[in-house]
Structure 1
């Protein structure tokens, strides 16, 4: 399997994506001999830190991996985007278009550019792509593709769960529906599973279910018209899949998959339902290419999560499920992905194979606080020593996956193991909109004060007096004439204002902590190039490790302070200065280890097959 990277010798390229693996954790684990398969690769060709994107976000980074261009070339800059004409905040990964009422809506990928599998398809080389972010709707290609991050749940969101309770004072939390139960603690309870909204009436489509206490203590039976007709759920454990069908109209139905966690059966039921996933056998919109690939994959490995965010982090953030139950669901997601990988590798004999394992990223987001006793998210919570090693446990699982892939490597295979970015602590929030307000660049409507009154989604902003505003995780937008619906910044003033904001933001300190919160800020023309630069934030903000834009500012809110502790269970992050959060890169053949970047991976894969890189690709092959 060893040797130099050479196009003539290669007939297979296998790429294993391990989302979020942090070099400062990988390297000492390698030194301790805890990652034997990665150690084998490091001993063959070395280990490199790979430069990530600005911002260092999963959809942005993997889009650069796929296209070989910076975000200005592929158009994905954040999880969120805004419609400048209306200031409406929406998904930055894809959107739906409906040209007229007689035609069905069509999903449109926000990621543009030419992918490595596009170029391989043109050259007659097949690809198998499993769960690459920003591949929904799925790209047409020679081979098979299962879309990843960007696939919505059946309600069109990133992950909308349901909480069932008879408690009178309960209220819905983040990305959650709440269903009130009429439960007397004795008889069956009739309730429903919530499906997609009716786009005309905005009412929810529903499937009726009945909750019946089984004779065995701690067991609940869910009866429904779905499959299976009776689903048994044990207290504290995740159920299997329930397949449900929502009737949308005379000739249309939506098929979904949902799982349940019985939190408590007695004296009254507390029940948690996962987001309803598209059924891979009959998705509402195509999630694979060819469209039947998802169904065939399910036939081979069983039902699986299809939503872009598989791991149910919102359930943990909302404190509906415990860390242990979150990890149990992560375990299920991991087994699904391994089964997919093995199923497809067993049939793979030439071309490109790519499979992404997202779980390390999600586990680090949610459990980083257990590495730091002083983390604000730990206040008032009991110590849980058993969870302090959960992240390293998933690194060991990642190593096992690499070992599984190595079983399919021969002397004409290039194996690439890659993380898209690293990881860091997230202890402090920076209220970027509050800073803009204090600098006189953002104004609130008369009578509205910063804080709760200002609301979210940019609703509290007085656009007639606002020159700059923030939303999303990556930067600042100017309220530009001719671009924003109520813009006031003249075109000739835009560039000086970008520079002025960047200069003032650079080096902003968190005086309470006595350290820098913002390492630097840069006008977008110093960060991006390409046809989609006009869609980027006007100023890109690079946070110091330990800091990040606040939850409030990311959703278009204006808080009352500049800095605040992050007390959420989402306690680790990577949306910081990209220089501080590189990814990890290993190969089974020698490669250029000086300064590799994500833009180099697509040219490297193409070079391995003897295919010329795309004319817009910015990187170069890592062939030494």
Structure 2
């Protein structure tokens, strides 16, 4: 009998990769390595978290738990008892990571560039943070000396790309990052002892945000002349990543199970919804109208116009010259824009997140707890009626947080979670008073230095091959929370009982499932505590800039 457990596991994360693109390109012969893995293994859609956002999705991957148990719902977290927010980091994760569960069982791990792993945890092996590390001049690896070791063998390590470039230079930066990531992974997988190894390629996600409209003739921003130049950029990046997949797996020992995973899918961004303007229209939110706030508003509006119209080179120069002024304008605007004493609900975040201004919970709450459910029901019902400027329905469903999440950290979640139709819309991340319209063309929004025209979808990808795994089979029912328990099972280890995910039995040959019965244990060792310490001010500025450039905050 081929054993499916007690195996080493090698995971390649390909951020945002989608079968909507993979399958047609495989049929054209463009992705030979991924095609070969699919033929010799199983594949299927991988359901993301709601929302399908990088921070909660990869955290659910690494914990096997829903966001209510790990506490990461977005790239930001609202500080209890205030209207302030902080960037999330690994210290705010309220559940043990897969790598630490493995390490506690004596397994050696290697983890490269998985989001929400800064500051890097101590692991039984090594770990490299994602772009949520402020830079390579800080301790972004564990152990700290690993950075110099990598530099000695492959040269400078590329943590992320420069989002302040024009399209042509941005493309060059993307390909350089892919080459660098693969070279580092190749060195580490050969130089280090490991039982579990994971490397994440983010390039696919980065280009889908910025180049979707150039390949999609149905996109509202499609321009034939520019499509001739940029229409194949996403395809070219997929091909380069496929090349590196082949490069890495050719160096794997034969007794290793291979997984390829994405945290969410991708598709066109059709528009941006200013939920706070909608709440204002419904009489649930009031913006301040005093003269001082009006002056701040004019300054902020001027900054946005400059950001939208100036050439990339000049924008970069201004950023380096006046970062404090920009940050002051943004913080002043955010802290003073809403009249809290006359606001019942407000929205914040990259997707549709609504908080009730609840008395006893919020600093200036006005909604009585006895009024909460009726107000939530009213907002849900009204949002389902919402249509865009062309009369198209934009809201598929509105969830109360208790419907989606369960666990000790559910109180961190927004009260209402808006699921857009096909996730083709983006919510105005900030309070959004500078725009008067509820619906905005994504092409006109200053979301990023690069124009935002693609965003996330619910369905990521799952591909697996190895001993005991079925061949040439398409599976259904896989979710991102299933990854940690399935990996633990492959490695012959018990599954913590408080994990929400399941072992994907349908990927294994029937005799292997019988031979390797699932074992459970009470809890993952050393569960982490709630921590709001977060980044220093200087660290936060660097990370915020990158996340803004991808439309995440």
Q: TM-score range with shorter-chain normalisation?
A: 0.7 to 0.9
**Structure 2 Cα separation of the partners of residues 595 and 149 of structure 1:** 31
SS in 1 for 2:110: strand
Residue in 1 aligned with 2:455?
A: 574
Which residue does 2:5 correspond to in 1? 7
Query: Structure 1: how far apart are the matches of 2:247 and 2:192?
Result: 14
User: Which stretch of the first structure deviates more once superposed, 404-413 or 534-543?
Assistant: 404-413
1:413 aligns with 2:256: yes
In structure 2, the CA distance between the partners of 1:499 and 1:325, relative to structure 1 (3 Å rule), is same
Unmatched tracts of structure 2, length 5 or more: 301-332, 507-553
Could you say what secondary structure the match of 2:362 adopts?
coil
Which of 355, 373, 380 is residue 502 of structure 1 equivalent to? Answer: 380
Q: Deviations over 1:335-391 (max 9, x none)?
A: 211111111121245410000011110011011110235645457x95241210110
Per-residue deviation, residues 290-316 of structure 1 (Å, max 9, x unmatched): 22222222222211234xxx1223x1x
Name 1:605's counterpart in structure 2: 487
Counterparts of 1:428 and 1:56, CA distance in 2: 17
| Matching residue of 2:41 | 45
SS of the aligned residue for 1:59 comes to helix
Tell me by how many angstroms 1:452 deviates.
5.0
Distance between the aligned counterparts of 1:346 and 1:507, measured in 2?
A: 56
Q: Deviations over 1:410-440 (max 9, x none)?
A: 4321100111101011121111111111111
Residue 52 of structure 1: CA displacement? 0.4
Residue in 2 that maps onto 1:129: 111
CA distance in 2, matches of 1:337, 1:439: 49
Cα distance in 2 for residues equivalent to 1:295 and 1:485: 47
Note if 1:359 corresponds to 2:203.
Answer: yes
- Paired residue for 1:199? none
1:311 equivalent among 161, 166, 172:
161
Alpha-carbon deviation of 1:445?
Answer: 1.9
Whether the 8 Å contact between 1:130 and 1:356 is mirrored in structure 2 is: yes
Counterpart among 319, 328, 336 of residue 172 in structure 2 = 328
Cα distance, 1:509 vs structure 2: 1.1
Separation in 2, partners of 1:90, 1:453: 26
Determine the structure 1 residue equivalent to 2:79. 83
Greater Rg over alpha carbons, structure? 1
Match of 2:308 in 1: none
Structure 1 residues 546 and 54, CA gap change in structure 2 (3 angstroms): closer
Question: Residue 500 of structure 1 aligns to a residue in which SS?
Answer: helix
Deviation per residue, 1:45-96 (Å, 9 max, x gap): 23201000111111111111000011111111112233243312331x23xx
Given the alignment, which residue of 16, 19, 22 partners 2:15? 19
Q: Is the 8 A contact 1:428 1:546 kept in 2?
A: no
Deviations 1:87-121 (A, max 9, x none): 12331x23xxxxxxxxxxxxx62222011111111
C-alpha separation in 2, matches of 1:531 and 1:570:
38
In the alignment, does 2:430 pair up with 1:587? Answer: no
Q: After superposition, give the CA deviation of every residue in 1:17-49 in whole Å (9 maximum; x if it has no partner).
A: 000112211111122221111111111123201
Residue 146 of structure 1, CA deviation? 0.7
Distance in 2, matches of 1:574 and 1:528, equals 23
1:73 aligns with 2:69: yes
Cα displacement (A) at 1:547: 3.6
- Corresponding residue SS for 2:269: strand
Question: Greater share of strand residues, 1 or 2?
Answer: 1
Aligned to 2:513: none
- Check whether the contact 1:367–1:572 (CA below 8 A) recurs between aligned residues: yes
* Partner of residue 141, structure 2: 288
Q: Mark the CA change 1:76 to 1:489 in structure 2 (over 3 Å): closer, same or farther.
A: same
Distance 2:463 2:499 in 1: 22
Cα distance in 1 for partners of 2:334, 2:73 equals 18
Q: Indicate the residue corresponding to 2:439 in structure 1.
A: 563
Secondary structure of the 1:521 match is strand
Aligned length: 460
Report the equivalent of 1:537.
Answer: 414
2:190 paired with 1:346: yes
Cα distance in structure 2, aligned partners of 1:278 and 1:431:
36
CA distance 1:65–1:297, change in 2 (3 Å): same
Please state whether the residue corresponding to 2:51 is helix, strand or coil: coil
Aligned Cα root-mean-square deviation (Å): 2.4
Closer, same or farther in 2 for the Cα pair 1:378/1:33, shift >3 Å? closer
Instruction: Please report the TM-score for the alignment, with normalisation by the length of structure 1.
Output: 0.70
Trace 1:233-252 onto structure 2 (pairs within 5 A). none
Tell me the alpha carbon deviations over residues 559-587 of structure 1, each in whole angstroms, 9 at most, x when there is no partner. 31111111154333435xxxx53001111
Residues 75-114 of structure 1 correspond to what in structure 2 (within 5 A)?
Answer: 75-91=71-87, 93-94=88-89, 109-114=91-96
SS of the counterpart of 2:199? strand
Counterpart of 1:432 in structure 2 is 275
* Structure 2 counterparts to residues 441-520 of structure 1, below 5 A: 441-447=284-290, 456-457=333-334, 459-474=336-351, 475-510=353-388, 512-520=389-397
Structure with greater contact order relative to length (CA < 8 Å, sep ≥ 6): 2
CA contact (8 A) 1:128 1:353 kept: yes
SS at match of 2:177: helix
Alpha-carbon distance in 2 for matches of 1:561, 1:5: 59
Question: What secondary structure does 2:39 align onto?
Answer: helix
**C-alpha distance 497-295 of structure 1, shift in aligned 2 (>3 A):** farther
